[in-house]
Amino acid sequence: HKGLPEFGTVKWFNLEEGFGFIERESGDDVFVHFSAIQTDGFKSLDEGQEVSFEVEEGQRGPQAANVTGPWHR
């Protein structure tokens, strides 16, 4: 089940651990793992970066999937 793309802002991203959180437009935070980032090369997000993503139910609650940046809008 694919959700509709949402837009949000990267709250923080830990490069060493490879994960972080995105603040959804609803104000909720959603977990993001580097493996969900759809980009060539180094998979990283910057604090304050706008991203688009889908939300799926993960083992520990909602998590971001198919994360792309404004470069895909």
Identify the pLDDT of residue 71: 54
Identify the pLDDT of residue 42: 82
> Which tens digits make up the pLDDT trace of 38-72?
988 888 999 999 999 999 998 889 999 999 987 54
In terms of pLDDT, which residue wins out, 69 or 13? 13
pTM of the model: 0.86
> Which tens digits make up the pLDDT trace of 27-41?
999 999 999 999 888
Quick one: CA dihedral 43, 49, 52, 56, positive or negative? positive
Quick one: CA dihedral 69, 47, 66, 8, positive or negative? negative
Q: Domains (ranges, CATH) in the chain?
A: 6-72 (2.40.50.140)
